[in-house]
Structure 1
Amino acid sequence: MNRLIIELSEIAKEYFAHQDFEKCEETLDKLIAFCKGEITLAQNGEMIFIDDEDKHYLLLEAYHNRALCRFNCLQYEKALEDVNLAIELDHKNPALFNLLGLCNFYLDLFQDALLAFNKAIALDNAYTSAYLNRARAYMLLDDINNALKDLQIAIDLESKIPNAYYTRAITLLNIDPKQSLMDLQKAEQLGLENVDLFYFQGVASENLGDYEKAISFFNKVIKVDENYSDAYFKRANNKRKINDLEGALQDCQKSLELNNKNAMAYLILGHCYRDLENFDSSIKSFKKSIELDENLKYPYYALANLLYDLQDYQEAIFYYDKAIEIDEEYIQALANRGNAKLQLKRIDEAQKDYDLAASYYEEQHNKSKFEDEALEEFKNTISHNYYHLANTLYELKHYQKALENFEKTLRFKPEYPEVFFNRSHLLTDIENFSEALEDCKKAIKYYKKHNQEDKYFKSLTHKAWIQSKLGNFKEAIEDYNLVFKADKININSDFENAYISRAYCAKELEAYEELIEYCNEAQKVCENNFRVYFWRGIAKYYLSLEEEAIEDFNKALKYSKEADIYYYKALSFEDLGELEEAIKTYDEALLEDLENDVFYYHRAKCKRELEEYDEALQDINKCLELANDNAKYYLEKAQILSFLQDYENAFEMAKISCNFDPNSYESYHFMGVIKIHLEDYKEAINYLSKALKLNRKDIWTFYYKGERLRALGEFKQALREYEACLKIDTKNLDALLSKAECLKQLQEYDEALEAIHILLDLDPKHELGLKFKNILNNKTKKQNKKWWQVWL
């Protein structure tokens, strides 16, 4: 090759080495023009010619070098043209494909860049730079996993190359900041001298939450380059996180002095003003950040959050919308926009935002190779939002949707005790007590494990209440007792209710002594609760302590005029035989509940016993107007009518009573008694026999049947009835006297006299018994005379 041509090529290389790219390109232009025959060159007056082989080599080298020149001058499109021309001359050169990839990369043609780097690696699978460059392309395409694979290959190929560690550190800044920090330190150890090393170490430390260390790195950046504006606003962000708000504000202002077009600096300034509660300045700063870079999502998001906290939910939604327009997979913005819509009761729209955020989270989680702290934060946000949506739906009584969202909450956070506790309450509201109990047990297990005493005891109290709704009153009392035995319980309204609920369980178990004890304890913490006195009164009533019961009912009535309190008070008077007081109290009960059939029934009974039959009849008629399907009401009317000697209608009422309750021996007994009054003894015996089939413990049924049989001359059958009566009550004087009468008729005088002796032992002054004794004694004497004595 001609010496002049060689010298021109060497001159071009020298210009390139000294970064005089303009003169380098001029020289290469001449060489390319010469090779293409566009110009001629002469040396010593003679034209220079080169053969085709030299021309090919020279042209390839010139295109390659001019591409490098133009690339370094940031003329990427022209560089791309040259490298493509070079590749036409040599399509097996990996360095050319690597350069082709770089040109495409800087022209934002990332897919084309990947194809070029792939080709370079295919030609040379140990080409470290190609792996590094392909990794950068993958990063910008958000294919982090492939980027990291390429970086690891580059490090494995050449472990002493600091750029591989440096690039990987940048890749891992937000994914694995701990490894990123280690890689930056490794790059520094391998000799990389770059102020950005300190800067990115600061960013990694910030991402690790070590704000003091981050500040120290940004201090180093500023010491090396006091005009590094980004370092000031990054240091400001870390200062605000350690509550050095004034220092943070000064750093933001310094950053903006150096570069007043920096959108990120205004963003951090907005955060500083917000922390200082200067909300107007904060809003202005966020808006300035948006003005400077409309494609930056963070200022929109930060401004929306501030407006949300200021309860301007509609305006907040506007800026969340803007952030999501920039990044439709912006999980936090979607979640927070959902929160704003929830505040405005736009429930369905909030649900859609939460579901979108959840789906994007799951996509990112599945793609991520690392336990990303940001993704963990997203997961917590999503579960928290679903939880609050579920609670809102619960408050609105949209139970099914609330349950669905509680379930979604648990999908993202399986161990969420508040979900179990609140869902347990919801399930009790829809009376699904079994599932409510299971949820409550899960909450209790968690709170006990983590020593959250207050929540543990609240859950235990709720569990006890659920047990009571399931009818498991003993188990409920056991749980309540666990709550009350705790040393650190602060009595509040929840626990006051627990004392009352425990008493309720004892009432339902009819454990009246325990009920009195529990009411006494409840009185110490909620003395103004009428149930304390009411239920204690009920317990005393059933323990036949009617006078004490009445005292408690009077105390209860100071706090509540519930009709049932009057009712039990009236029952107590009734049992004490104070019928007039009972009637007055039933009157008061009816003032509170005029349509209560039970009150009319009991008042009718009291009036009947006071022989006020007409008024009693009015009450029982009113009672039957209110409830015409109760057997005992008809039976009571039958009794009242019988006292009014209206036996026919009395019988009809007793018959209706029997129709409603065919197993009521009282109805048959009473029909038998009425038939006695109507002197239809055979029918009386028939009904009394039916009564005895249902109940063989009523002495009077046996007695009345015996009386009618005796009246019909059926003495043996009558005797069996009296004996059955006396098996139940050996001291029944009427049955003893009637038995003696039957035995007399059967001429069993000794046995009859024995019955009379028993009667007189019980009542020595019994007039009929004494008369009957004399009669029987005479009969016995006559029976004992000899036959000849009779005829004397």
Structure 2
Amino acid sequence: MKINYKKSGCFLMIHLVFLFSCAKQPLVELPITTSSDIALEHYKTAMKHWEVGDNLEKRVQLDSAIMIDPNFALALDMNDIPDRSKRKAYQKKAQSLIDKVTDQERMILLIRDSYRNNNMDNALSYATELVDKNPNSYEAYDWLGIVQSDRNEIDNAIRSFEKAIKINSDDFTAYDYLMGHHIPSGDRVMLPEERRSVDKGLEYGDELIRIRPDAGFPYHFKANCYRQMGEFEKATPLYEKSIEKRRGKSSEGTALLVSGHNYMFGGDYKKARKRYEEAIETSKTKQGWYNLNSYLTWSYVFESNYNGAIKNIEKARGQLEEKGFSGERLLWNKAISDWARFVCYAHNQMEKKANEALESSISFSNQRAALINDPIVKRNTNSGIAYNRVWNHTLFGRYDKARESLNELKKIQEKINSPTAMYGYYDLLGMITLNQSRPEEALEYFEKGNPTDTYFLYFKALALKATGNKAGAKEILTDIANTNFSYWQLAIMKDRAKRMLENI
């Protein structure tokens, strides 16, 4: 039952919703402040789209909610529209309404604002407060689990999500994240390789399908389990089911994309690229078109065909203005394109072109930061520049220059309140130290880096091999060689890992 009451300024408070789980325990949803029941329904529909990756549909529903209630704080904050200036205006307005919403909404808004400011310590503090004040809310535990996952505190996150499920056995978000700790999905933080379980992934996947049989995403996610095991034929019908469920939706391109991955890792690059091209053609947004093109690029890198990759990068880059990109988004996509060219040139040992591509990327990044004129963007831009310069110098043996840029990176990152802030610094320091023939010292640094970064795990394996720990090296290299998911780090390292295993 929904209880509404008037507030000053003609607000209605959508207070508490009591449902009953199969255990007949009251299920409490966090209150949401809005002046309209219809706006609330649009918001709830948006969140349903969000949890299965239908992002365009989510934004349409949030736009409708805001049109009806311009002071709907959560709808404003959750609406990640592509127009950055409008998105920032929405976020600013949402934060200005923080004293006019419930305490629960206030903490959610503060969690999200902490993410935008890269302050994961504050995010954890607010999420913990949300749970402390709402111990019977599955949504509160979801927020805490999400923050803990993103802080790479996965054991704590698992406990939070399991508590959420005890309260609500149909908690899609909790099962989604629990599965994502074992099976790759987007940018989810995963358990270390030795603790991942495909069986757990299949178990969680079945729960997702049970809860949302109408959506394509759960079938896609379960198919990922079979793809990881190399059972590509078992994965195929689930990917096809995902495509069927997503036809006409903004996530159709994603469904076609992951089906293409299944063909690629099964060895059929021709069919994979045909699927990638279908995905690109079906994209309903220009940014989606650009993002999907990157996977076509990396498919060439998986074959060590860097020329093919660069040709695709330049083809997409040359169409940016034609597709309607302008302003900061045009600058950002040009920066990313040139960064991708740098990666390809650098790993194909083309030093001059790698240097030129990186400096071009840096130039566009700086232009974008100047245009946006935001201190967080400026800091993140400077951090990215320092990181990439360290990496470039290291790849070409310029270790003194690499350490100079590494010191710049350290000064930036050590001021960020997050347990993961120094991962990149230590991974790069480990790579430099290994290349300077100090593998024991390098291992100390890799232990402080990102425990799941495929690129640097490869170098950690080299360090283990150099110190005589062939079993440890073989374990890491085998994991890399057997991984069947598409991302640039694996594209570079999968074949290298296979070749290295032959020499152990």
How would you bin the TM-score normalised by the shorter chain? 0.3 to 0.5
Structure having the larger proportion of residues in helix: 1
For normalisation by structure 1, the TM-score amounts to: 0.29
For normalisation by structure 2, the TM-score amounts to: 0.44
Q: Which has the larger radius of gyration?
A: 1
